[in-house]
Amino acid sequence: MPDRRANPAGGYVLLLHLEHAERIQVGRLGAFDFPPAHYLYFGSALGGLASRIQRHQSTQKRLHWHIDYLTATARVEQAWWAAGRERWECLWAQTALEVPGISLPAAGFGSSDCRCPSHLVQAPSFRAALSLRCRLPGNPKIWRPEDAD
Ligand SMILES: [Zn+2]
């Protein structure tokens, strides 16, 4: 059971849905053509998952991280999380990129501070995106709003 009173540090995955093809300028990384698809973004929030996930779900925010440029257009459908200070986001991104059908839509996205090719992957289908959760190390759980209470 998660500690419901806490804002635990940990890694998180955003399951994003982009309904229409969009050309998106991702800060200084460049402009990329994103096809309509489900995407998974891998991040970490050492200052607390609850506040970070809430921020990603908000449409009113200053564009700071690469992911902010995508969440300005794509909808966050689910968030998954695992507590701890491991570099979950790198482990998960590398695991995901080895799964057949998973592709890399924007090289360098979210991975300026590590050696991963990207912290954003594109799933071939919604089902494929969902089924990735049980393949990720650390058994990430689905984030529920009450986890932030
Ligand atoms: Zn990484």
How far is the centre of ligand 1, averaged over its atoms, from the C-alpha of 92 (Å)?
Answer: 8
* Backbone angles phi and psi of 49, in degrees to 5: -75, -40
Look at residue 144 in the predicted model and tell me its pLDDT.
87
> What are the domain boundaries of the chain?
10-148
106-143 pLDDT per residue, tens: 999 999 999 999 999 999 999 999 999 999 999 999 99
How far is the centre of ligand 1, averaged over its atoms, from the C-alpha of 85 (Å)?
Answer: 14
DSSP designation for 35? P
48-60 pLDDT per residue, tens: 999 999 999 988 8
Kindly report the number of other CB atoms within 10 A of residue 140's CB atom. Answer: 22
44 and 23 Cβ atoms separated by less than 8 Å: no
pTM of the model: 0.93
How far is the centre of ligand 1, averaged over its atoms, from the C-alpha of 113 (Å)?
Answer: 7
